[in-house]
Amino acid sequence: MDVDLRIKRFDPEKDDKPHWEEYRVTVDEGDRVLDALHQVRWFQDGSLAFRRSCAHGVCGSDAMVINGANRLACVLLVRDVGARITVEPLRGLPVLKDLVVDMDAFFAQYRAVQPWLHNDTDAGATERLQSPEQRARFDDTTKCILCAACTTSCPIYWANDTYVGPAAIVNAHRFIFDSRDTAGDQRMEILDAQSGVWKCRTAFNCTDACPRGIKVTEAIQDVKRAIIR
Ligand code: SF4
Ligand code: FES
């Protein structure tokens, strides 16, 4: 099938501001939007910049705005989008070139919640054990691939980039509710600050955007309730 791609382009070395460019490509209905972007880059305009690595929904590097919604280009099938596809860079992060955004602030916010296991106690001769119920408490938030689709779909984040954003809270949740971790209070103190969970207005954009199906808004509410308790 023929697909008309409308892509927001910006080259900081040539352009004062972003502009749209259109391309017609031929793809199979079962191809992904990523395949259509490859058709452009490989056969029509090699200067088109976008990120992708795994091409299978695992690395999280090709989140972009497709027909108005944050999606992974390597997961979304052309037949589910239609023959006219608009593609823009993620909102709320500076555009470096075309569909490539600067992720530095996003990863700094992720690191701010200390997304690693804290436990200085002696684990003894065995590993630290956990019951299936204890593991289930944070199972959903282990699925995050740090694609930033949630954070960059959040209207609060667009207006206030000091907000840590949904992805950082999801990754804090993953450790706050891990029975083996000892720094939950520390993380909740970080998220109780002005840039933390209370900025969330439960718009649910984040949950809709997550390609891993994580209940992002629910995880944020979980953390809010834990802080109140
Ligand atoms: S929670 Fe979902 S949308 Fe947000 S960064 Fe993780 S995988 Fe991406
Ligand atoms: S390229 Fe890795 S998630 Fe799409």
What is the model's pLDDT at position 13? Answer: 95
Q: Which residues of the chain have pLDDT under 70?
A: none
Q: How far apart are CA 195 and CA 55, in angstroms?
A: 33
CATH number for region 104-228: 1.10.1060.10
Q: Which fold has domain 2-101?
A: Ubiquitin-like (UB roll) (3.10.20)
What is the model's pLDDT at position 126? Answer: 86
What is the model's pLDDT at position 124? Answer: 85
Q: 49 C-alpha to center of ligand 1: Å?
A: 22
Q: Which helix (H) or strand (E) holds 97?
A: strand 95-97
The owner of tokens 């029509």 is 44
Distance, C-alpha 31 to centroid of its chain: 22
Pure H helices in 59-154: 104-112, 132-136
* Cβ contact 212:63 at 8 Å: no
Q: Any residues with Cβ below 6 Å from ligand 2, and which?
A: 52-55, 57-62, 72, 74
What is the model's pLDDT at position 125? Answer: 87
pLDDT tens, 113-153? 999 999 999 888 888 999 999 999 999 999 999 999 999 99
Domain borders along the chain are 2-101, 104-228
Q: 54 C-alpha to center of ligand 2: Å?
A: 5
Reported pTM: 0.94
